[in-house]
Amino acid sequence: MKLHIVPARTGVQWFKLGARTFFKQPLALSGLFFMFMAVMSVLTMVPVLGNVLALALLPAATLGLMAATEETTKGKFPMPAVLLSAFRAGRQQLKSMLILGAIYAVGFLLVLGISATVDGGKFAHLYLMGGEMTAETVMGADFEMAVLLAMALYVPLSLLFWHAPALVYWHGITPVKSLFFSLVACMRNFWAFTVYSLVWLGAFIAMGIAVALVAALIGSPEAVTGIMFPLAMLMAAMFFTSIYFTFRDCFEDTRAEQTP
């Protein structure tokens, strides 16, 4: 396995490749993303345990969407079974993916636990137990600080897991090593990932402005919600499609060399 250092402009290329590949199979890729979201939503309906299980399955689910993207780049139609790729690659990969999921769940719960020191656990309770999100709670200074702290702590966690599932699945790396290599790859390609993040942020902001303008032109503020949600989901599906290319360009593909 060899790490590639890519120029900052590659971040724009990752965005373009994600969008281009998504529109090759828009129904299949958006359908797989909606299935992924539906499963996660059903799990989170169970307080605490369901949320923890959803967190533990997130690395494997992300890998499934990356595998679907790879299928699309090969001109194939990704079937729903591709979402289970992490659990069908062999006993060793399955064990590693389960360990990776457990580490991710513990890491995310640790982030929530640290944020609880700021607001007394309001944000963590809302995430794990659900409940009504009142304006009074959301506008509270301590709640806002807890959310900002959780977001700041989640960044290094996401960098650790950005490439980890793919490294476990495609390169057979152990869970701990995959976390290390993922972090190194993200840091060594810092500017490419910075550009990539800014482009996607700009795309989501532009979508929001466009929807707001359309709603204003037709004189229906309610249309914002009706249009925004499905468009946001499609954009999110496109974003997950682009993740595969960040991995492909950061690591050399040695699978052909390993084939007898």
User: How far is 196 from 242, CA to CA, in rounded Å?
Assistant: 10
**How many angstroms separate the CA atoms of 46 and 52, rounded?**
10
Classify burial at 81, counting beta carbons within 10 Å of its beta carbon; exposed 0-12, middle 13-18, buried 19 or more. exposed
Sign of CA dihedral 208, 212, 213, 218: positive
Angstrom distance (rounded) from CA 20 to CA 17: 5
**3 phi and psi, to 5 degrees?**
-85, 135
- If we measure between CA atoms, which residue out of 243, 158, 162, 234 comes closest to residue 203? 234
* Chain position carrying tokens 């806002």: 144
What are 257's two structure tokens?
């060399």
Residue-wise pLDDT for 213-249, tens only, equals 887 777 766 667 777 888 889 999 999 999 999 999 9
Contact status, residue 97 vs residue 59, Cβ threshold 8 Å: yes
pLDDT tens-place string over residues 74-122: 999 999 999 999 888 788 888 999 999 999 999 999 999 999 999 888 8
Cβ contact 157:111 at 8 Å: yes
Residues pairing with 251 in the sheet: 3
Angle between helices 141-162 and 164-171 (to 10 degrees): 20
Parse the chain into domains and list their residue ranges: 10-258
Taking 60 as the threshold, does the pLDDT of residue 257 lie above it?
Answer: no
Residue 239, number of CB atoms within 10 A of its CB: 19
Query: Is residue 253 scored above 80 in pLDDT?
Result: no
What's the rounded Cα separation, in Å, for the pair 216 and 126?
33
Phi, psi of 106 (to 5 degrees): -65, -40
Asked whether residue 17 carries a pLDDT value surpassing 80, the answer given is yes
pLDDT at 38: 93
Which structure tokens are listed for 65? 């969407």
**pTM for this one?**
0.89
Cβ atoms of residues 166 and 246 within 8 Å: no
Residue with tokens 């990932």: 193
* Residues listed for the chain: 260
Q: Is the pLDDT of residue 258 over 50?
A: no
Q: What's the pLDDT at 134?
A: 72
User: What is the distance of C-alpha 209 from the center of its chain?
Assistant: 23
Cα of 104 vs its chain's centroid, Å: 12
